[in-house]
Chains A and B, each alone.
Chain A
């Protein structure tokens, strides 16, 4: 089981290592980590820390995409969750109340998306586009169009604090990733989600409650988006309805794609998507550390990502496979005869 997972995520691991080495090349101190004032410091820690929002989003996005759906609203949900949390603490509430309120807002958003997709059969891209546009408006209504700042220690801790020396966002995304992976793989949830993503009609006829499953994946997506929103708001000590999570849904989708998950649904790997999120953040880091003028950032990022996707494309994969087959053909040039002999025996019996 572990072996299979490892083989599945091997390409992502290799790419991550390459990009990290690229970081090292442009900035030799990249792998240096030190412990100061009860907190881990270092560029590698920054990658893990800054990658938290996209990593969290990619967990939910992986499940949604596995059902052949997509959730464009996660960026807007982040803004809503940040706004809700900020308004609770500025209204005198505690950080825990604020967190719960933000998570409930995320679940409500997920429920909205899920009901539209599962019960009203609205195409996911359209259904979630509604909230992508409207959600930011909702967030602006909550913050009354201003950047709502706060000084609540507890809430700020979620974005800027540490747990046992590790920045809180890292702990949160690692915990969420582990939790969701365990839940979907230790129960039958993962298989059933894959089944409806591959063939929903057949799955429904096999007795699978596809509606409940669809709503569930959008709920998870809304939940992790809310967590990401709280982290981003806590990090800047304020809720910015206009910019929090802006375009982040696209990074989340990209993380899932880099993770080798098909946008057509079906088989999925959350671990691979999380690695995808880290790859994106490492790419950001390379650009930053190389000291390139900031106007080059987006173009270079696009180029690096194109290279990654081309390496993963079926055409290149097939070429690599052929190359490997050729290399090993010196060992056994003749096709294996055993299966045929076995087949003949089966037919005879």
Chain B
């Protein structure tokens, strides 16, 4: 029933070149009204480039775009919106410090006698959002609502302004299960009204849950478009990577961790994380599990000294220490890969090379610069070991894809040869291939005797590499799971039961 003969959007032979490299190579994409079309591919495969070329954010170097049978040539997102193509990005592109209705109507506010008609604006906002199953106060600041609701407001705005094609670029990356449900019900509603939705995500489960068809990109080429009812997840992954991916299995050899390296007793910070105990031994991975906002990130931050604890004691190899700044943590051979790569991790305009050696250089102090030969050796070593894909180590790191940025950040900390490495959501927003590589890297580091603390929202991942799992809920440690107890079911149960399970 989906394959109605008349496509709403047909892009043919889209080309895009970047400084001598081919980003898109004769890409075709056809959208039918009422379908959810997933756009899949590894980081750097060309998904975002394709979207930007379609909406005119990038000037495409070849190909045609037809909307309802007539050729269009949008020269920017605003123009493509007028044609009927709306886009919602992963980071909600709205103004948090303005009201919900301001956000919905910004740029096309209803006007009465040359003045803004706030009453009408609020009324219509209420009506529109009701259509999305939201009953919220349009006069409130957007920031007072959850990311999911903001995301729905963004979708509503895009739909009101465009109405034919909606492009969702990783709309669910920072949402929990319930919130994803909310966004999905909105999407189903829209497709029932005949809109075509392009859905970009890294979560294959979600792809199969909501999408009708999927187009897979690899290295800027379309490698296939599939009807999802005809294929399995494995088929899609194979298309994306060009080879089978080993299922992440739990390794059995977690038996013999070494000496205790870090011991925290009653450690905590008021308003951030309730006091907790933690014994970390060499050669073990302690997983931090919990829902969004359960205190995973806060635990990582308090251990690394990003915020200093106001409760409890810390001992490093039996010696009491005070961890109250990242600089001290760095000196004591701790490392932290933060959750939010863009704002807390990368230094965007510095080169990949400089980003990799940044922490090592910071620990040496500015008076003792690393020798050029040493820098090259370190950078070459980690680019190779972690398979960081780049044109040159001199390119600004912000030009790398998410997975490669994450690997470069890992390289930054590995270069400091840490004893304790804290990874906060190391696999968020990166593609399947890099995902598997990072998991096997965690395994490898553990086997080499490093002590790791890994926070993740992906249970399977925690089960795969953790020696022990600490379960957090409402900014409180509620349960420690070890050995045979580490299964997805047990973790989920502990999270949902909270303290009663302890």
In the bound complex, what is the Cα–Cα distance between A20 and B326 (angstroms)? 50
- The A-contacting residues of B in range 15-38, CB under 8 angstroms, are 17, 20-22, 25
- CB-contact partner of B219 in A205, A213, A338, A343, under 8 A: A343
Residues of B within 8 A of A188 (CB): 361, 364-370
- A340 close to B347 (CB less than 8 A): no
The reply to whether the CB of A34 lies closer than 8 angstroms to some CB of chain B is no
Which stretch, B198-206, B231-239, B251-259, B336-344, touches the partner chain A? B336-344
Residues of B within 8 A of A335 (CB): 17, 20, 22
Which stretch, B162-170, B182-190, B348-356, B442-450, touches the partner chain A? B348-356
- B363 close to A339 (CB less than 8 A): no
In the bound complex, what is the Cα–Cα distance between A208 and B358 (angstroms)? 8
Contact pattern, B 453-478, Cβ under 8 Å of A = 1, otherwise 0? 00000000000000000000000000
The reply to whether the CB of A290 lies closer than 8 angstroms to some CB of chain B is no
Contact pattern, B 95-138, Cβ under 8 Å of A = 1, otherwise 0? 00000000000000000000000000000000000000000000
Cβ distance A237 to chain B, nearest Cβ, rounded Å: 40
In the bound complex, what is the Cα–Cα distance between A209 and B20 (angstroms)? 39
Q: Name the interface size band of chain A.
A: 20 to 34
- B350 close to A207 (CB less than 8 A): no
Residues of A within 8 A of B389 (CB): 346
Residues of A within 8 A of B365 (CB): 188
The reply to whether the CB of B172 lies closer than 8 angstroms to some CB of chain A is no
Cβ distance B351 to chain A, nearest Cβ, rounded Å: 10
Which stretch, A10-18, A195-203, A221-229, A250-258, touches the partner chain B? A195-203
Residues of B within 8 A of A306 (CB): none
- The A-contacting residues of B in range 354-408, CB under 8 angstroms, are 354, 358-359, 361-370, 389, 391
Cβ distance B334 to chain A, nearest Cβ, rounded Å: 9
The reply to whether the CB of A189 lies closer than 8 angstroms to some CB of chain B is yes
Cβ distance B243 to chain A, nearest Cβ, rounded Å: 9
- B361 close to A205 (CB less than 8 A): no
The residue on A at minimum CB distance from B364 is A188
- CB-contact partner of B347 in A186, A199, A207, A347, under 8 A: A199
In the bound complex, what is the Cα–Cα distance between A189 and B367 (angstroms)? 7
In the bound complex, what is the Cα–Cα distance between A133 and B361 (angstroms)? 39
The residue on A at minimum CB distance from B334 is A207
- B326 close to A204 (CB less than 8 A): yes
- A199 close to B330 (CB less than 8 A): no
The residue on B at minimum CB distance from A185 is B369
The reply to whether the CB of A266 lies closer than 8 angstroms to some CB of chain B is yes
The reply to whether the CB of A327 lies closer than 8 angstroms to some CB of chain B is no
In the bound complex, what is the Cα–Cα distance between A192 and B242 (angstroms)? 41
In the complex with contacts A339-B391, A343-B219, A347-B242, A195-B358 CB distance below 8 A: yes
Residues of A within 8 A of B218 (CB): 347
The reply to whether the CB of A136 lies closer than 8 angstroms to some CB of chain B is no
Q: Most chain-B Cβ atoms within 10 A of its Cβ — which of A204, A206, A208? A: A206
Contact pattern, A 163-192, Cβ under 8 Å of B = 1, otherwise 0? 000000000000000000000001111011
In the bound complex, what is the Cα–Cα distance between A1 and B315 (angstroms)? 46
The reply to whether the CB of B306 lies closer than 8 angstroms to some CB of chain A is yes
The reply to whether the CB of B412 lies closer than 8 angstroms to some CB of chain A is yes
Cβ distance A182 to chain B, nearest Cβ, rounded Å: 12
- CB-contact partner of A187 in B329, B358, B366, under 8 A: B366
In the bound complex, what is the Cα–Cα distance between A207 and B328 (angstroms)? 8
- CB-contact partner of B338 in A192, A194, A205, under 8 A: A205
Residues of A within 8 A of B330 (CB): 206-207
Cβ distance B332 to chain A, nearest Cβ, rounded Å: 11
- B327 close to A207 (CB less than 8 A): yes
The residue on A at minimum CB distance from B23 is A340
Residues of A within 8 A of B219 (CB): 340, 343-344, 347
- B366 close to A192 (CB less than 8 A): yes
In the bound complex, what is the Cα–Cα distance between A199 and B340 (angstroms)? 13
- B369 close to A205 (CB less than 8 A): no
- CB-contact partner of A192 in B326, B362, B412, under 8 A: B362
- B350 close to A195 (CB less than 8 A): yes
Residues of A within 8 A of B343 (CB): 199, 201-202
- B20 close to A198 (CB less than 8 A): no
In the bound complex, what is the Cα–Cα distance between A60 and B220 (angstroms)? 46
Cβ distance A340 to chain B, nearest Cβ, rounded Å: 5
Residues of A within 8 A of B347 (CB): 194-195, 198-199, 202-203, 206
The residue on A at minimum CB distance from B17 is A335
The residue on B at minimum CB distance from A199 is B347
- A202 close to B370 (CB less than 8 A): no
- B326 close to A266 (CB less than 8 A): no
The reply to whether the CB of A336 lies closer than 8 angstroms to some CB of chain B is yes
- CB-contact partner of A205 in B21, B22, B344, B391, under 8 A: B344
Contact pattern, B 212-253, Cβ under 8 Å of A = 1, otherwise 0? 000000111000000000000000000000100000000000
- CB-contact partner of B367 in A187, A201, A340, A344, under 8 A: A187
- B17 close to A205 (CB less than 8 A): no
Residues of A within 8 A of B25 (CB): 340
- B369 close to A201 (CB less than 8 A): no
In the bound complex, what is the Cα–Cα distance between A213 and B326 (angstroms)? 15
In the bound complex, what is the Cα–Cα distance between A187 and B345 (angstroms)? 23
- A194 close to B362 (CB less than 8 A): no
Contact pattern, A 321-341, Cβ under 8 Å of B = 1, otherwise 0? 000000000000001111110
In the bound complex, what is the Cα–Cα distance between A201 and B336 (angstroms)? 13
- A201 close to B21 (CB less than 8 A): no
Counting from the closest, the 3 A-B pairs by CB-CB distance are A207-B330, A336-B20, A207-B362
A206-B358, A207-B331 given; name 6 further pairs at CB < 8 Å.
A187-B369, A194-B347, A195-B350, A205-B326, A335-B17, A347-B242
Residue positions of A touching B, CB distance < 8 A: 186-189, 191-192, 194-195, 198-199, 201-209, 213, 266-267, 335-340, 343-344, 346-348
A-B contacts, 24 of them at CB < 8 A, read A187-B369, A188-B361, A188-B367, A188-B368, A188-B370, A191-B361, A192-B362, A194-B350, A199-B346, A199-B347, A205-B306, A206-B362, A207-B331, A207-B359, A213-B366, A267-B349, A335-B17, A335-B20, A335-B22, A336-B21, A339-B22, A340-B219, A344-B219, A348-B242
